[in-house]
Amino acid sequence: MIRIGIVGDIGSGKSYIAKLFGYPVFNADIEVAKIYKTNAECFKRLKKKLPKYFSTFPTKKSEIINAIKKNKINLKKITNIIHPQIKKKMNFFLKKNKKNKIVVLDIPLLLEKRINKKGDILIFVESNKKEVFKRLKKRDNFDLTLLNNFKEIQLSLAYKKKKSNFIIKNDFTKKTIKKSIKNILLNI
């Protein structure tokens, strides 16, 4: 099985591009949301580590946002609790899809949490910074402090780009992206 890891900046279009590959996608953001809603054990651990922020289960998005905005160290505490669960869910996804030729991993902290393996094909999504910022500002939960705290725990874009096997320049047009994906699939 070929594992394709999608990396890049927040808001660069990683999830959109992951879907366009046409293979099963493990989307960590969707799985994190499920953990907050359904995993009582994670909630208990969050409440124990950050009692000022977490009060009721299921975990409310506002509680998570407040904890992260208040102190960037809180984000590290949260990811240290949530990411082992993400790794378990990813391993289940991989077992379930082991007969597929290719799977796509859309995990924002793929390199940071060392979830990738040596043989993974890494694809860096490169986007115009101004365009990305415009898109991020349109999101319901956009918050500059939150964004900066997330960026602080991530590896540099230059490092991610250097580690990648391929680069997709995301101009936010389906035709261009599909062409890039086709070329990548021909090369792997």
Q: What percent of the chain has pLDDT over 90?
A: 61
Q: For residue 81, what pLDDT band results from cuts at 50, 70 and 90? A: very high
Measuring CA to CA, which residue among 112, 117, 121 is closest to residue 83? 112
Position 139 pLDDT exceeds 80: no
Structure tokens at 134: 């415009």
* Domains, the chain, ordered by start: 2-187 (3.40.50.300)
DSSP 111: T
- Whole-Å CA distances, 14 to 32, 101, 167: 16, 21, 12
Q: Please give the model's pTM, rounded to 2 decimal places.
A: 0.88
Rounded CA-CA distance 71/115 in Å is 25
Q: What is the pLDDT of residue 130?
A: 82
Q: What is the pLDDT of residue 128?
A: 82
Structure tokens at 54: 């977490």
Q: What is the pLDDT of residue 54?
A: 92
